Amino acid sequence: MSVDRRTLLRAAGAVGATAIGASAAHAAGCDIGPPAHDKGPLVWMNLDQIELDAAYDQATYAPTLGQILKRYATSSEEVRKRLGPPKRFSYGSTPVEGMDVYPAKNPNAPVFVFIHGGAWLRGEAKEYGYPAELFVNAGATYIALDFTGIGAAQGDLRVMAKQVRSGIAWAYKNIASYGGDPNRFYIGGHSSGGHLCGVALVTDWEKEFGLPPTFIKAGMCMSGMYDLKPVRLSKRSSYVKFDDDMEASMSTQRHLDKLRVPVVVTYGTFETPEFQRQSRDFVAAVKAAGKPVELVEAPSYNHFEMCETLGNPYGPNGRAALRMMGIG
């Protein structure tokens, strides 16, 4: 049966129209950003309360959040099948104060400690095992920290920061016993973990833990928050019990005089406007303070995709981490 050119073009047009219609329908169900509303009084910069709340709620800018979080878990399980289960160690007196250690195959390996995110509310080390394969294959030891959530901490970020600091200190003091090189010790964190990573980087380690002030050789703050004033004004204050001391002490950007090591700051251009601004402003402040800093802006990645790229040697976070450690 012969088919003329006009018939083929009509058929192709129909298929194209159907595809475009399906795409439009899909997009209609995946709204990005704050809901449509009448502009209210400004609360922070040019943002009203609805816009500010959305700017500190990554789910409003990442419609595939659920799928990506499931991949964190399934990818971590697959990595454990290939590498074997991590070594589990406690660094404190409560059950949550522990860490998963994925040791390098070679002795005296550099070490990367990862601080997970989850809006300070949730997250477990086992869900963040997937980057281990990248580090182990590159000859490094990977550690994922567990620590309390903000609910158990009675809304106090200082409790969470204290645990994270204690976990980092324990890892540094003990990692040589498990094949790690304490002279090549690095930390990183994503999202609320990026915030806690920043706080760790401006800790007075000598005063609080009796450790060398520069035992951390560099830090990688991924998609984090570095000044908590706008966060305090957002809906996150419904579960973080902010006071003036917490806002000040937990704002890394206000303590750059204590920053003693290089920092890498990363974010994706599909993240919320505030997470993007926080990263840029933090880098500008570090530069103004005369401290070494690198900014990695990743086009077309949302917040959760950025975290996922820590497990990819060719992704923005994976590549930056290996370069920071001098093993990429």
Supply 9's token pair: 């073009």
User: For the whole prediction, is pTM greater than 0.85?
Assistant: yes
Backbone angles phi, psi at 48, to 5 degrees: -85, -175
Q: 22: burial class by Cβ within 10 Å (0-12, 13-18, 19+)? A: exposed
What's the rounded Cα separation, in Å, for the pair 61 and 44?
19
Tens digits of residue pLDDT in 217-252 = 999 999 999 999 999 999 999 999 999 999 999 999
Listed as ranges, residues in the chain with pLDDT below 50 are 1-28
Q: 96: burial class by Cβ within 10 Å (0-12, 13-18, 19+)? A: middle
What's the rounded Cα separation, in Å, for the pair 169 and 163?
10
**pLDDT at site 15:** 36
What's the rounded Cα separation, in Å, for the pair 112 and 171?
10
What's the rounded Cα separation, in Å, for the pair 313 and 315?
6
**pLDDT at site 175:** 95
Pairing state between β 293-298 and 263-268: parallel
Q: CA separation (Å) from 283 to 64, 193, 264, 293?
A: 29, 17, 9, 7
